[in-house]
Amino acid sequence: MIKEQTPSDPTKTAAGELSADVTDVKNAQQGPGRRHGRSRLTAGQKPRWTAWAVAGGALIIAAALMALIGFNIAGWLIITAILYVVAMYVTTTIMENRRKATDGLWTNLIVGSFLIALIPLISVLWTVISHGTPGLTAPGFFASDMKGVTGITDQKTEAGDLPLIGGIKHALMGTLLITLAATIISVPIGLLTSIYLVEYSNDNSLSKVIRFFVDVMTGIPSIVAGLFASGLMMFICQKILQMPPGSNVMGFSAAVGLSVLMIPVVVRSTEEMLRVVPNELREASAALGVRKWRTTLKVVLPTAISGIASGITLAIARVVGETAPILVTAGVALSTNFNLFKDWMMTLPVFIYRQLMNPTAPMAPTASEERAWGAALVLIIIVMLLNLLARVVAKIFAPKTAGR
Amino acid sequence: MSTTTAPPALSSGSSGRAGDKFFSGLTLAAGIVILAVLAFVAGFLVLESVPALFAPADQISAGTSFFTYVFPIMIGTLITAAIALLIATPIALGVALFISHLAPRNLAKPVGYVIDLLAAIPSVVYGAWGMLVLGPLMVPMYDWLHTYLGWIPLFGEPSTTGRTLMTASVVLAVMILPIITALSREIFVQTPKLHEEAALALGATRWEMIRMSVLPFARSGVVSAIMLGLGRALGETMAVTLVLSPGILTANLIGSGNQTIPSEIALNFPEAFGMRQNELIAAGLILFIITLLVNMVARFIVNRHKEFSGAN
């Protein structure tokens, strides 16, 4: 009865595969599964401990293989993983059926890809924390800049005659000021644009164009944004304001470059938040005779403020780590500069880059590397704090929905 | 900016109307500013590139013409991005499927957050990691590849520092992984529950359900997610600048050599002046056009997809 139903080639079509499975289950009920004395429902399934047994076997065989070609932990784990996936496929094919085996194979591969994705994350975080802590804990790391730090002092540091001197005060200040300026430029433009898109445009063709190009803008390479800002400020300073050449290299140029990167992020996140504000609120406000602009400012924005604030925080977190646009606009500096509109300025990412690529003492780069990793740790902490803040802000300002 | 709106008087209709007009005008202006900025970026790049595009041969750093200068670094950019994409795409799709369909509900959220962490790490930190940690780790592998597969031109004389195009591509792959993951996860989640349940009810295993209902539904979205990842990989600067020790275009992926456009600009622009500056801006224009095309195609696919999936 059962045999007659088996299709000639169950692999060809989906339906074929499904009916093949039905056959297999029925086969199994009468087949070897019974012998284990389990219920009819679980008969024909491989026992629970199969996976552990296969994993153990894979570990042992991989260890044996590695012993032949020279043992190292990474290779051992990789070979174990490959053996495990293959062996599970074969075992399941024999004990259950090919479809179950394929399912298991892909499940293993998908989980495996997730584990692979974790490796670089853990490696990066571990490297930054372990390499960065010595620099970070060096006295005066936050309080001093790189003025007076020369190749000679760095060589003495490496030889152990001097403690690590020099710090990131100038870079930290530059990062804060430039990011603040970029935020001040981008937030009003981004906020107003998204209000236009949601509240005023009625989805006309202009709004479609704006939305499309905002999306496209999110893909502008950061270096191109930097080139644009650099060239624009060069034009404004030299051709219009008649300032001497080179005066366009300043913190504000960098802020313009970062704004180009930040505006689209702000627009997109704010637009999404404004869209989820229920229309009933707008209608209720309009029914009370409130003008649209006041409705927008007093009803729509406060309702969406949690999402907007967290979106802006995430946008800041994104630009705070940008290097390329600042490198070509604000240049590099050794001393602290508080003036956004004059002279070169340093930021944390550029500081890291310069310390790694052009160590203060080319023959003794250890000190520079230590400073770079310390700065990297500070930068990552800032970015993570901003990400955390975004989540907290979204929670705190979230509209109270309990009453509705 | 917005503080200059009309005084918040409850009073007469006329002031309210003025406020309305003013406010809507203001928002419209902001929208137009954005379009203007994009137009400016494009216009400025073209304007500043023109001198380099038509410059006499002796003023160009490559000697003959701008295109012989930009061609090798353009190819370098494309190769790096392509390898990064090859590595990142399967892993990213796997992670996205893991989060959307495999992981237990209470695990999926923290896992998504962990992947977002990958996206939050600044590119310069990735660059530093690739330069000082990943590069040296890759050296034994490069030696092995050269010893056993050295007859393939891709695996020529290996670098001793590991600062090669291949390492740069791996770093880029790590950087674009969270982008592709986040976008495709969003699309996988949108698969109509009925399709999935129907597949399962017919007796499909979980993988068959994914293959028959989730993947066909998500195909166009995944393609655009990959293209957005490509756009990011093409424009990424610092990771490549730090990792790669640049040189002339070569087929050898595991030795030093090759260069990408963004890295070339970042390395040379701070010290450039005169024609060299125009030349680098022209290279930036090429990069801008490539990424613009990639992004526009990707967005076009996304937008079309949105209309289809409006039902859920």
Buried b (16+ CB within 10 A) or exposed e, A157-178: bbeeeeebbbbbbbbbbbbebb
A·B CB contacts under 8 A? 279
pLDDT value at residue A9: 43
User: With the CA atoms of A285, A288, A289 and A290 taken in that order, what torsion angle do they form, in degrees rounded to the nearest 10?
Assistant: -40
Interface of B with A in 36-55 (CB under 8 A): 37-38, 40-41, 44-45, 48
Interface residue B293 vs chain A (CB under 8 A): no
Choose the weakest-confidence range: B90-94, B111-115, B155-159, B304-308.
Answer: B304-308
Question: How many CB atoms sit inside 10 A of residue A367's CB?
Answer: 27
Question: How many CB atoms sit inside 10 A of residue B58's CB?
Answer: 7
Q: Do B17 and A291 touch (CB under 8 A)?
A: yes
Q: Do A232 and B40 touch (CB under 8 A)?
A: yes
Q: A227, A233, A248, A368: which to substitute to probe chain B, counting the most B Cβ within 10 Å?
A: A227
Question: Which amino acid, A357?
Answer: M
Distance (Å, whole) CA A111 – CA A74 = 18
Smallest CA-to-CA distance from A309 within A375, A396, A379, A374 is with: A396
Distance from CA of A395 to the nearest CA of B (A): 16
Q: Do A376 and B232 touch (CB under 8 A)?
A: no
pLDDT value at residue B62: 64
pLDDT value at residue B276: 83
Interface residue B274 vs chain A (CB under 8 A): no
Segment B71-97 mean pLDDT: 92
pLDDT value at residue B310: 41
A190: chain B residues, CB-CB within 8 Å: 30
Distance from CA of A261 to the nearest CA of B (A): 11
A210: chain B residues, CB-CB within 8 Å: 31, 34-35
pLDDT value at residue A28: 46
Distant-in-sequence, close-in-space partners of B123: CB < 8 Å, separation ≥ 6 = A321, A322, A323, B175, B236, B237, B238, B239
pLDDT value at residue B305: 64
pLDDT value at residue A14: 46
Q: Work out the burial of residue A51: count CB atoms within 10 Å of its CB; fewer than 13 is exposed, 13-18 middle, 19 or more buried.
A: middle
Please tell me the total number of residues recorded for chain A in this structure: 404
Distance (Å, whole) CA B173 – CA B161 = 20
Q: Do B235 and A221 touch (CB under 8 A)?
A: yes
- By C-alpha distance, the chain A residue nearest B268 is A328
Q: pLDDT tens across B201-229, in order?
A: 998 988 999 998 999 888 888 888 898 88
Q: Do A127 and B129 touch (CB under 8 A)?
A: yes
CB A212 within 8 Å of CB B299: yes
pLDDT value at residue B63: 64
Angle in degrees, 0-180, between the axes of helices A301-320 and A366-396, rounded to the nearest 10? 170
Q: Do B38 and A217 touch (CB under 8 A)?
A: yes
Segment B164-176 mean pLDDT: 91
pLDDT value at residue A178: 92
- The sign of the CA dihedral B274, B280, B283, B284 is negative
Interface residue B26 vs chain A (CB under 8 A): yes
Distance from CA of A163 to the nearest CA of B (A): 23
Smallest CA-to-CA distance from B111 within B170, B196, B173, B185 is with: B185
Q: Do A376 and B125 touch (CB under 8 A)?
A: yes
Spell out the SS3 assignment of chain B: CHHHCCCCCCCCHHHHHHHHHHHHHHHHHHHHHHHHHHHHHHHHHHHHHHHHHCCCHHHCCCCCCHHHHHHHHHHHHHHHHHHHHHHHHHHHHHHHHHHHHHCCHHHHHHHHHHHHHHHHCCHHHHHHHHHHHHHHHHHHHHHHHHHHHCCCCCCCCCCCCCCCHHHHHHHHHHHHHHHHHHHHHHHHHCCCHHHHHHHHHCCCCHHHHHHHHHHHHHHHHHHHHHHHHHHHHHHCCHHHHHHCCCCCCCCCCCCCCCCCHHHHHHHHHHHCCCHHHHHHHHHHHHHHHHHHHHHHHHHHHHHHHHHHHHHC
Judged against a pLDDT cut of 80, whether residue B15 lies above it is answered with no
CATH 1.10.3720.10 location in chain A: 151-397
Judged against a pLDDT cut of 50, whether residue B11 lies above it is answered with no
Spell out the SS3 assignment of B158-213: CCCCCCCHHHHHHHHHHHHHHHHHHHHHHHHHCCCHHHHHHHHHCCCCHHHHHHHH
pLDDT value at residue B94: 93
Distance (Å, whole) CA A353 – CA B122 = 12
Smallest CA-to-CA distance from A257 within A355, A323, A194, A187 is with: A323
Bigger pLDDT: B204 vs B306: B204
pLDDT value at residue B86: 94
Choose the weakest-confidence range: A126-130, A134-138, B12-16, B284-288.
Answer: B12-16
Please tell me the total number of residues recorded for chain B in this structure: 312
- By C-alpha distance, the chain A residue nearest B127 is A353
Task: Please give the share of chain B, as a percent, with pLDDT higher than 90.
Answer: 17
Q: Do A324 and B238 touch (CB under 8 A)?
A: yes
Smallest CA-to-CA distance from A328 within A225, A197, A213 is with: A225
List the structure tokens of A375. Answer: 């700065």
Interface residue B33 vs chain A (CB under 8 A): yes
B30: left (phi over 0), alpha (psi -120 to 50) or beta: alpha
Q: Which helix (H) or strand (E) holds A108?
A: helix A98-137
Choose the weakest-confidence range: A57-66, A112-121, B258-267, B303-312.
Answer: B303-312
- By C-alpha distance, the chain A residue nearest B35 is A210
pLDDT value at residue A177: 92
Distance from CA of B82 to the nearest CA of A (A): 17
Q: How far, in whole angstroms, is CA A175 from its chain's centroid?
A: 19
Interface of B with A in 62-121 (CB under 8 A): 90-95, 97-98, 102, 111, 114-118, 120-121
Q: Which helix (H) or strand (E) holds A76?
A: helix A73-95
Q: Which CATH class is domain A151-397?
A: mainly alpha
Buried b (16+ CB within 10 A) or exposed e, A97-121: bbbbbbbbbbbbbbbbbbebbeebb
- By C-alpha distance, the chain A residue nearest B269 is A328
Q: Do B120 and A112 touch (CB under 8 A)?
A: no
Bigger pLDDT: B275 vs B64: B275
Q: B10, B14, B22, B27: which to substitute to probe chain A, counting the most A Cβ within 10 Å?
A: B27
Task: Give the ipTM of the model, two decimals please.
Answer: 0.82
Q: Do A200 and B28 touch (CB under 8 A)?
A: yes
Smallest CA-to-CA distance from B273 within A332, A245, A237, A344 is with: A245
Distant-in-sequence, close-in-space partners of A388: CB < 8 Å, separation ≥ 6 = none
Q: Work out the burial of residue B242: count CB atoms within 10 Å of its CB; fewer than 13 is exposed, 13-18 middle, 19 or more buried.
A: buried
Q: B5, B48, B123, B125: which to substitute to probe chain A, counting the most A Cβ within 10 Å?
A: B125
Among A113, A195, A227, the residue with its CB nearest the CB of B281 is A227
- HSE-CB for A248 with a 13 A CA cutoff: 23
Interface residue B238 vs chain A (CB under 8 A): yes
User: With the CA atoms of A85, A86, A92 and A97 taken in that order, what torsion angle do they form, in degrees rounded to the nearest 10?
Assistant: 120
A296: chain B residues, CB-CB within 8 Å: 23
Among A18, A193, A260, the residue with its CB nearest the CB of B204 is A18
CB A120 within 8 Å of CB B174: yes
pLDDT value at residue A400: 59
Coil, strand or helix at A362:
coil
Mean pLDDT split into 10-residue runs, chain A, 404 residues: 42 45 48 53 74 84 80 80 87 84 90 89 90 83 78 76 80 91 93 91 86 84 88 83 77 91 91 88 91 89 88 89 86 81 85 86 81 91 89 77 49
Choose the weakest-confidence range: A90-99, A147-156, B118-127, B283-292.
Answer: A147-156
Q: Do B295 and A219 touch (CB under 8 A)?
A: yes
Among B133, B205, B288, the residue with its CB nearest the CB of A123 is B133
